[in-house]
Each structure stands twice: as structure tokens, then as C-alpha cells.
Chain A
Amino acid sequence: QSVLTQPPSVSAAPGQKVTISCSGSSSNIGNNYVSWYQQLPGTVPKLLIYENNERPSGIPDRFSGSKSGTSATLGITGLQTGDEADYYCGTWDSSLSAVVFGGGTKLTVL
């Protein structure tokens, strides 16, 4: 079982908006920055969001992140078929002294 909890799957139509949640605890999300990764089919993970809501260069502003307490959310607007991928949240867990990931959420753009 993953330390961080994500929904296994989400779906939405092209052009719509979707959110993916990530739930943790005070030892991880509650006291550390959250990052999000996108893994397109057959590819390696790519950093999408860091420090809760910052985007690396080259990541479009359709992708956004937020954090409140021990939960974080990834938002994607203007959905495209090319956004179909697995999305993972991650953070540092201060109690475990370890990086922890969510179980991943598969996004389907209908």
C-alpha cells in the first residue's frame, strides 16, 4: 500500500478540466513540498509540478498544483488526448526519512 493515496483513475472529455487528489499525513504532505509526475505510456516519468505549485520550464500552464493541510491536488485544464497518462504525486516523509509516492492515477480523456 502506498503512503500517499490517489484515486486509481479519472476521466473527462477533451477540453474539460480534471483534478487528481493526493492524500497523506503530517509527516509527509503536511510538512513538505509536493511534486507531481506525468508518465506517458511507454515513457519515463517527467516532473510536472514541484514545490506544490511550481512548473518546470516547458510545462504548460494548463497544469497546476495546490496543497491544503495533508492533501494536494493536480489540476489539468483544456484536456487533450495527449494528456492520457499515469500521474503520480510524491514528497519527502520526515518520519520515514524516505521519498514516498502515491499509487498513481490513470487519466483517460474520453
Chain B
Amino acid sequence: EVQLLESGGGLVQPGGSLRLSCAASGFTFSTYAMSWVRQAPGKGLEWVSGISASGVSTYYADSVKGRFTISRDNSKDTLYLQMNSLRAEDTAAYYCAKQMAAITYPFDCWGQGTPVTVSS
């Protein structure tokens, strides 16, 4: 069974940093592109960042470019999102999502999400 388990969310002050992790199991992690998708309270889905299967190529939404960094460790089957210079508008549930193949493919598995609250 494919499983994605996020961790690392929490309460942080504006300007602060957090590192999210997503532990994957049940599939060959190194074969699939992965992404982070967030959902602010009561709002819709917003794609945040994606990374190719090898980790060589990374992609970012304009709203987080220059502040967030996505990475992966295929030896540990783990996806990461380093979030710096956090703002109130980054408050959301952050989902780790597996893509069906490459970065242009849809998401066929989602984690349960980890909440991030940016507030003083």
C-alpha cells in the first residue's frame, strides 16, 4: 500500500523557517516525481513545488520562489520542503503528493497533510 507521511509542521513566527518531511513507502520512490501542495483554511488547492524523480529538476510556484527549497533523498525514500522567510499567507495544510510518473503527471496519492501556521 502506498503511504505518504508528512511531518515537521507547526507554529512559526513571520520571517521564521520550517522544514517539512514526507516519508514514502509502498512504491519505488526514486521512480516518481513528487510535489508539495498546500491548502489554506477554507480555500482551494495550491501547488507549491515539485521535483523530478532523480531530484535534478525542481519547480516552484511564483508565490514561494526564492523562499522555499524542495529536495529529496532517494536512499531514504523521503521528500523535503525547506521553508524560509515565512509569511502569514503561507499558513495552510501542506500535502505531500506522488505523481503518476514525471512532473507533468497528476497526483495519484496524497499524504494526510501537516499544518503550518505563521503567526506572531
Could you tell me which A residues sit within 8 Å of B by CB distance? 2, 32-33, 35, 37, 39, 44-47, 50, 56, 86, 88, 90, 92, 96-104
Contact = CB atoms under 8 A, between A and B. Distances in A.
Interface stretch (B43-51, B68-76, B82-90): B43-51
Interface in B75-120: 95, 100, 103-108, 110-113
B59 A90 contact: no
Contacts, number: 60
A44 B44 contact: no
Contacts of B111: 44
Contact of A47 (B46, B47, B61, B108): B108
B21 interface: no
Interface of A is mostly: strand
Nearest to A90: B106
Interface of B: 35, 37, 44-47, 50, 59-62, 95, 100, 103-108, 110-113
B79 to A, nearest CB: 15
Q: Which 10 A-B pairs have the closest CB atoms?
A: A35-B106, A99-B47, A92-B104, A104-B44, A44-B110, A50-B106, A101-B45, A103-B44, A47-B108, A88-B45
Contacts of B108: 47, 50, 56
A104 B107 contact: no
B103 A92 contact: yes
Given A37-B107, A101-B46, 9 more contacts: A35-B106, A44-B110, A44-B113, A45-B37, A46-B110, A47-B106, A50-B108, A90-B45, A98-B47
